Structure 1
């Protein structure tokens, strides 16, 4: 019996377990998935917790309930991948061999990468990229009376590149509903030259900064934080003062990747951007946030990658060329407050443009436009995530490759 081993039972790993359980010959292959955590978190929901739109029960479920029968689940920290020996060593010393390995270990925020950040952590410096961080920020916002709110992006790449913008727009709405918007100065501090990485989308979203009275400090490369003085300081000496700092620190891959010698300087695994095969080991494949590919680190990307990677693993098993190609397809709703949202759909070669999605001329969603239907799509995604995406069920009319129909290219 040959063994396919998946590291990580988050979004990407769980989808791969479900896809491959349907495809592999169970008389020839076994599937094992390893993760140290018992709970599965709906990470897009973390954005809504500080504003009391979602609660804990919306974002937490048991990992095991989303894994198909017959897939072995080992709950354990992983010490190291010994790629030359085709095996993984767990923290307790147990050795798990594999014939094919899928790395789906995701990424994490690393506040310690920014000097001084720890000194104000969870006092007047918060994050919303972790469950604990979003809950702590919710509790802080309940009592906060106003002042200078600074939302800070340390560096790219990050999980869900639009989330900082969504937090800004939802903050504007949240404080307006509380009746204290006039008492809150909202500023976005970013190392980018504009609001977003894609020029067309940045121009559209940047207009919201003006209408919502949100300030932006671009090209700000952080040096350190002076937590006792409530200051962000850049490498060239610029300073931004805050009363409440919401930061998106450096994102890095799992520390185990570094211990295994498989990652780059941020612990992301060098990966072929089309086949999702490791650039260094032919029987290792990488998916989701663990890769170094130039695609968004988002759940939709992992969903599209999973369909491509499943095809390529079947081809690999049958000694055939890896002909399925991932095109960098990403699909993101962007909450803009007041029960409205934008939608963007793009890939490696095509940036977000206007149009209709998923059906040309019909929609019902509008691309790069602010609509209530887009907001309803965003809110419906939680149901789709728990009931379709994790289980490897394709979404009708939304294939893994980006469609050009319906787009004003």
Structure 2
């Protein structure tokens, strides 16, 4: 009997789980990977593009049949997913399957904040969550000579919880390189009380300390209501001026899903039999009630777990699917120095995360990870 498994999305999670499925399933079973372009980017590299340490072309991810042997690659846009029937509607037709893995990521939604789209269109604001945005943000920062740079988290949750604070630190580093750091004030605004709240208050306070040491102001519990030309309006009527805005736009679940997909913490299984979700499209709630961070390291870590779950669902022998909850991320400070946060995010009653002191070795470790992923998928 031949089974068909469909994986939606060719980001880090989708690529890794498709590869893992091909390794675990018999040759007779089909593994279909669906993506609208198969032309992506490593999220961990975007801030390095902004900083000028990478060019856009160097961080593209373009998987080929040679890098995913045995995986059928289908170029199509997913328009609707019927979870109950495991039926995927695309602009190229309908796919039915025996098991479905959703790894569609998250979408940016600047229109959710009044005035933000206009600020982005005018060039007064930019973002570093897309490849084009990161490259354009570098140009804006290089041209900045004086005034105030505001780094804004518009909504939570968002991809890569460290990114806004890394972005501020790397922007300050670039402004030092261009010789105008003393003429530019840098401030970060976020709805959360501290950076990376899922990692605990100790890690948050340590990150605030790193920002302060670099002369960057931190403003927690600031929920944006609207953006105008040169002004941020927060809940409660607080107004803050800016000359250049670097924004983390609101994130929304893929339109084809209609919402984030809740998953079981140890298996990434959804409430629908035969359907799993990993990466940014999923919603895994930790013991402390906060969501698992939307980060590639967790999507990659989920791949083996989901592959085992799919194999067992299809009647094949495989280990029990079990996610250990461990993960790590790097926090770039500039000057090619990084800190590293690492721990057990499923530990009860709350994640146990250690923030290791900044070191050039952590920057090199992140660069090695980047290089390995690019080589792996661009074979």
Q: TM-score, normalised by structure 2?
A: 0.91
**1:80–1:90 CA contact under 8 A, matched in 2:** yes
Matched, 1:382 2:373: no
In structure 2, what is the equivalent of residue 332 of structure 1?
329
| Aligned counterpart in structure 1 of residue 209 of structure 2, from 200, 207, 216 | 207
In structure 2, what is the equivalent of residue 317 of structure 1?
314
Number of matched residues?
364
**1:14–1:66 CA contact under 8 A, matched in 2:** no
- What is the alpha-carbon distance in structure 2 between the residues aligned to residue 66 and residue 202 of structure 1? 43
- What is the alpha-carbon distance in structure 1 between the residues aligned to residue 45 and residue 99 of structure 2? 32
**1:5–1:32 CA contact under 8 A, matched in 2:** yes
Q: Deviations over 1:314-373 (max 9, x none)?
A: 2222288984222332210111112211011122223322xxxxxxxxxxxxx5211111
> Residues 220 and 195 of structure 1: is their aligned pair in 2 closer, same or farther, counting only changes over 3 Å?
same
In the TM superposition, structure 1's runs of 4+ consecutive aligned residues that sit over 6 Å from their partners are 319-322
In structure 1, what is the equivalent of residue 360 of structure 2?
372
Residue aligned with 2:206, SS:
helix
Which has the bigger relative contact order, CA under 8 A and spacing at least 6? 2
- What is the alpha-carbon distance in structure 2 between the residues aligned to residue 8 and residue 195 of structure 1? 29
Matched, 1:112 2:111: yes
Residue aligned with 2:31, SS:
strand
After TM superposition, the structure 1 = structure 2 runs for residues 8-407 of structure 1, keeping only pairs within 5 Å, are 8-27=9-28, 29-64=29-64, 67-92=67-92, 94-122=93-121, 123-197=123-197, 198-227=200-229, 230-258=230-258, 267-279=259-271, 281-293=272-284, 294-318=291-315, 323-346=320-343, 347-349=345-347, 350-353=351-354, 367-388=355-376
When the two chains are superposed, the root-mean-square deviation of aligned CA atoms in Å is 1.8
> Residues 300 and 70 of structure 1: is their aligned pair in 2 closer, same or farther, counting only changes over 3 Å?
same
How far 1:67 sits from its partner (Å)? 4.4
How far 1:284 sits from its partner (Å)? 0.6
**2:80–2:256 CA contact under 8 A, matched in 1:** yes
> Residues 24 and 172 of structure 1: is their aligned pair in 2 closer, same or farther, counting only changes over 3 Å?
same
Q: Name structure 2 gaps, 5 residues minimum.
A: 285-290
Q: Name structure 1 gaps, 5 residues minimum.
A: 259-266, 354-366, 392-409
Q: Deviations over 1:365-404 (max 9, x none)?
A: xx5211111121122221122235x59xxxxxxxxxxxxx
**1:35–1:74 CA contact under 8 A, matched in 2:** yes
